[in-house]
C-alpha cells in the first residue's frame, strides 16, 4: 500500500509532494523535499493537485474552518476528496473540524514523509480517487460528491450536535455544500435514502419551527384567556370531613391550617385531606384556571405556534449501500434505473450508440428515404436544480418521465447520461419535426419545474440529421466542449 504513494511521488510526477501545509502564520517549520508550505492569499483548486494530502494549521480555528470548507466545497474529486489533516501543538477539540477533516495531522517520519498506517490510508483514498477519475466525465452533483466521499473514507455519516446549526444537528461535509441553506442538507439526505444510496437508522429526534425550520424553541405555559405568561399557582386542597375543595390559601387560619367551611383544623395529608390538583390565577386578567395553554416560540423568527404544529424530524446516521457504492463509480444513471428510467424505457449508452451507428450506416448505404434524427435535450443548471428539488426529486422525476413517454412514439429510442442529458433516436423523423416534438417536451418540463422549484431551468434542444455522415462521438464532444 505504501508503494502506491511512493510511485506517485517518484515515478509518475516528480513534483508531487507528500503534503501541502497551509497556515496563516509561521509555525517555525523548515521546508523539505516532501512538504510544501503555503501561507495566506487566495486558494485555488489547482494548488491541491500537486500533493497527496493537506495539513491545515489549526492554531486559528476560523482559518482552519475556512480552508477545510474551501476544499470540501470544490467540485473536483482531486480536491474535495483530498485527505486533509489538522495541525495544532495544543491539540484540536473542535468536533466540527475533526469531522470535516481526516483528523489530527500524523507524525512525519524521516525526510518529512508520512509513515505506516497514515500512509496506507492515504494510499487507499488515492486508489479510490483514481477509480473515480477513470470513470470519465460524471457530473459532480452534491449527490455524487456525498457517496464518493463516504466511499473513499469507508465510514458512516453521523450527525453532529452543533449550536451554530439552527436544527441543532449538522453533517459537516454536506453543510459545506449548502452555505446558508441548511434545509437542503436534510432534503439531500432524504433523497439519497429514498433512492437507496444510503441506509439510515434513527439516533435522535427534533421538532422544528414550521416557518423557518429552527429547532431552538422556547416552550412556555400561558393563560388560556389572555395568553399571558404571568400567573401564580397554588395547590387545591380537598377536606375529607366536609368535602370542601378550594385553593390552599383558603385554608390559612390564625392557629394553623383549617377548613373555611367546617372550621376544623387540618392534620396530616392523606388522613383528613389531600391535594388533588393545582389552580392558577392570571395576574394580567384575574382568570382562574387549572390547565395552562402550552405555546412554542421560535427563537429565530419569533413565530408562536402550538406543539402539534411543529415539524418533527428523525435524526439518523447513514451507511453507504451497495447501490451507493456502485453509484460512486457509475454516476446517478445506475441509481435511477429502476425509477423514471424504467417508466420511459431508457436503454444503456452503449446500446444507444450501436443503434445510432446502425442507422447511420443504413442511411449511408440507402441514400433515398427520410432521414432519422439524433436529438439531445440538455439541462445546463441541473446541478443547481437538484439541490432545490430535495425531497421532491423522486416525484418530479416521475412526472418528467411521463412527459417524455407520452410525447414520443414507441419506435423512438431514448438514452440518458448525466454529463449529456437525454439522447433520442427518432427514426424516419427529420430534424424539423423532431424539433417541434422536443420543443413541446421542453415547454412542459419548464412548466413542471417552475411549479415546483425556484430555480429557472436552462433547457436546450439540439437536433442532427442522421444522413450517413453523422458522428455521435463528435456530436457529444461539441455538446460538452467549451
Which ranges of 74-204 would DSSP assign to H, the alpha helix?
Answer: 77-80, 95-100, 116-134, 142-153, 172-177, 182-194
**Euclidean distance between CA atoms 128 and 147, whole angstroms:** 12
Cα-based angle 104, 107, 111 (whole degrees, multiple of 5) = 140
**Euclidean distance between CA atoms 178 and 190, whole angstroms:** 15
Please state, in angstroms and as integers, the Cα–Cα distance from residue 392 to each residue in 308, 327, 426, following that order.
24, 20, 30
- Mean pLDDT confidence for 128-140: 73
- Mean pLDDT confidence for 148-162: 94
Which ranges of 154-225 would DSSP assign to H, the alpha helix?
Answer: 172-177, 182-194
For the chain, what is the mean pLDDT? Answer: 81
Written out in words, the top-level CATH class of the domain with range 336-480 is alpha beta
Q: What pLDDT, on a 0 to 100 scale, did the predictor assign at position 1?
A: 32
**Euclidean distance between CA atoms 372 and 466, whole angstroms:** 5
Cell numbers linked to 286: 384575574
11 vs 321, higher pLDDT: 321
Q: What pLDDT, on a 0 to 100 scale, did the predictor assign at position 64?
A: 93
243 vs 116, higher pLDDT: 243
pLDDT digits (tens, 9 = 90+) for 257-314: 889 888 888 888 878 888 888 889 999 999 989 889 999 999 999 999 999 999 999 9
Place of cell 491539540: 91
Query: 51-57 and 84-87 as β-strands: parallel, antiparallel, unpaired?
Result: parallel
Question: Is residue 8 classed exposed, middle or buried when 0-12, 13-18 and 19+ CB atoms within 10 A define those classes?
Answer: middle
Instruction: Give the contacts of 321 (CB within 8 A, at least 6 positions apart).
Output: 196, 197, 198, 199
Question: Is residue 482 classed exposed, middle or buried when 0-12, 13-18 and 19+ CB atoms within 10 A define those classes?
Answer: exposed
Task: Give the lowest-confidence range in 23-32, 220-229, 381-390, 406-415.
Answer: 381-390
Q: What is the pTM of this model?
A: 0.64
Instruction: Give the contacts of 65 (CB within 8 A, at least 6 positions apart).
Output: 96, 97, 100
Grouping H, G, I as helix, E, B as strand and the rest as coil, residue 339 is coil
> In 3D, which of 358, 469, 476, 361 has the Cα closest to residue 423?
476
Residue 74 confidence (pLDDT) above 70: yes
At the topology level, CATH places domain 1-134 in Rossmann fold (3.40.50)
Residue 475 confidence (pLDDT) above 60: yes
Residue ranges of the chain that CATH labels 3.30.70.270:
336-480
Q: What pLDDT, on a 0 to 100 scale, did the predictor assign at position 441?
A: 86
pLDDT digits (tens, 9 = 90+) for 349-402: 777 888 888 888 888 887 767 788 998 887 776 656 655 555 565 566 667 767
Place of cell 436544480: 385
pLDDT digits (tens, 9 = 90+) for 171-193: 999 999 887 778 888 988 988 88
Cell numbers linked to 458: 436552462
175 vs 410, higher pLDDT: 175
Residue ranges of the chain that CATH labels 3.40.50:
1-134
pLDDT band at 27 (very low <50, low <70, confident <90, very high): low
Residue 477 confidence (pLDDT) above 50: yes
Place of cell 466545497: 73
Amino acid at each position: 500500500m505504501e508503494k502506491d504513494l511512493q510511485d506517485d511521488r517518484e515515478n509518475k510526477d516528480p513534483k508531487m509532494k507528500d503534503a501541502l501545509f497551509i497556515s496563516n502564520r509561521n509555525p517555525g517549520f523548515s521546508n523539505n523535499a516532501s512538504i510544501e508550505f503555503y501561507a495566506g492569499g487566495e486558494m485555488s483548486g489547482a494548488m491541491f493537485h500537486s500533493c497527496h494530502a493537506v495539513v491545515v494549521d489549526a492554531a486559528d480555528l476560523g482559518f482552519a474552518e475556512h480552508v477545510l470548507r474551501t476544499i470540501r466545497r470544490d467540485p473536483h474529486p482531486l480536491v474535495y476528496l483530498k485527505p486533509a489533516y489538522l495541525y495544532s501543538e495544543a491539540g484540536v477539540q473542535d468536533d466540527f473540524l475533526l469531522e470535516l477533516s481526516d483528523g489530527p495531522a500524523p507524525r512525519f517520519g524521516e525526510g518529512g514523509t508520512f509513515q505506516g498506517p497514515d500512509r496506507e490510508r492515504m494510499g487507499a483514498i488515492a486508489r479510490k480517487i483514481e477509480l473515480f477519475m477513470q470513470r470519465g466525465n460524471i457530473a459532480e452533483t452534491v449527490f455524487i460528491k456525498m457517496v464518493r466521499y463516504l466511499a473513499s473514507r469507508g465510514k458512516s455519516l453521523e450527525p453532529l450536535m452543533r449550536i451554530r446549526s439552527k436544527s441543532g444537528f449538522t453533517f459537516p461535509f454536506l453543510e459545506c455544500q449548502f452555505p446558508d441553506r441548511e434545509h437542503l442538507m436534510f432534503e439531500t439526505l432524504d433523497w439519497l435514502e429514498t433512492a437507496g444510496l444510503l441506509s439510515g437508522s434513527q439516533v435522535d429526534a427534533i421538532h422544528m419551527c414550521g416557518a423557518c425550520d429552527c429547532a431552538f424553541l422556547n416552550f412556555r405555559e400561558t393563560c388560556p384567556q389572555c395568553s399571558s405568561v404571568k400567573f401564580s399557582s397554588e395547590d387545591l386542597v380537598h377536606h375529607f370531613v366536609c368535602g370542601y375543595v378550594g385553593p390552599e390559601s383558603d385554608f390559612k387560619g390564625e392557629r394553623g391550617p383549617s377548613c373555611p367551611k367546617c372550621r376544623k383544623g387540618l392534620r396530616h395529608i392523606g388522613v383528613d385531606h389531600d391535594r388533588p390538583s393545582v389552580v392558577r390565577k392570571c395576574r394580567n386578567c384575574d382568570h382562574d384556571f387549572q390547565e395552562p395553554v402550552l405555546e412554542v416560540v421560535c427563537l429565530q423568527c419569533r413565530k408562536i405556534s402550538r406543539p402539534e404544529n411543529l415539524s418533527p424530524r428523525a435524526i439518523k446516521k447513514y451507511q453507504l449501500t451497495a447501490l451507493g457504492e456502485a453509484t460512486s463509480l457509475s454516476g446517478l444513471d445506475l441509481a435511477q434505473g429502476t425509477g423514471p428510467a424504467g417508466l420511459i424505457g431508457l436503454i444503456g449508452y452503449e446500446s444507444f450508440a450501436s443503434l445510432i451507428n446502425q442507422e447511420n450506416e443504413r442511411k449511408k448505404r440507402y441514400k433515398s428515404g427520410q432521414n432519422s434524427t439524433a436529438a439531445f435535450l440538455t439541462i445546463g443548471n441541473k446541478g443547481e436544480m437538484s439541490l432545490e428539488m430535495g425531497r421532491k426529486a423522486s416525484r418530479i422525476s416521475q412526472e418528467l418521465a411521463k412527459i417524455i413517454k407520452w410525447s414520443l412514439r414507441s419506435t423512438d429510442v431514448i438514452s440518458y447520461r448525466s454529463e449529456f442529458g437525454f439522447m433520442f433516436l427518432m427514426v424516419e423523423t427529420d430534424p424539423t419535426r423532431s424539433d417541434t416534438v422536443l420543443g413541446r417536451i421542453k415547454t412542459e418540463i419548464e412548466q413542471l419545474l417552475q411549479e415546483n422549484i425556484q430555480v429557472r431551468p436552462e433547457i436546450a434542444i439540439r437536433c442532427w440529421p442522421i444522413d450517413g455522415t453523422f458522428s455521435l462521438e463528435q456530436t457529444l464532444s461539441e455538446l460538452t466542449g467549451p
